[in-house]
Amino acid sequence: MITQYDDIAALLLQHDPGIVDIGDKYGKSAMHIAVDVGSIDCLKVGLDYTTWNLWTVSRWV
């Protein structure tokens, strides 16, 4: 993904970190979409701001 999108995402998340967990009309969050399109950089940005408990999530796998 183009770096400018990562920068925009980081700026938005700095303003309101809670938006990282908001889903679209299909229930997909920004994290889901980053994985779907293979954007490692966007995924890293999202992980910096997620409210998920990653320990709990990792036990599901």
pTM of the model: 0.63
- The count of C-alpha atoms lying within 13 angstroms of the C-alpha of 49, restricted to the half-sphere facing its C-beta, is 22
Per-residue model confidence (pLDDT) at position 51? 63
Quote the CA–CA distance of 39 and 45 in Å, as a whole number. Answer: 10
Token code pair at residue 39 = 């954007």
| DSSP designation for 38 | T
Per-residue pLDDT of the chain (61 residues; tens, 9 = 90+): 445 678 888 888 888 888 877 888 998 888 888 888 888 888 888 888 776 655 555 444 4
CA distances from 51 to 18, 19, 59 (A): 7, 10, 16
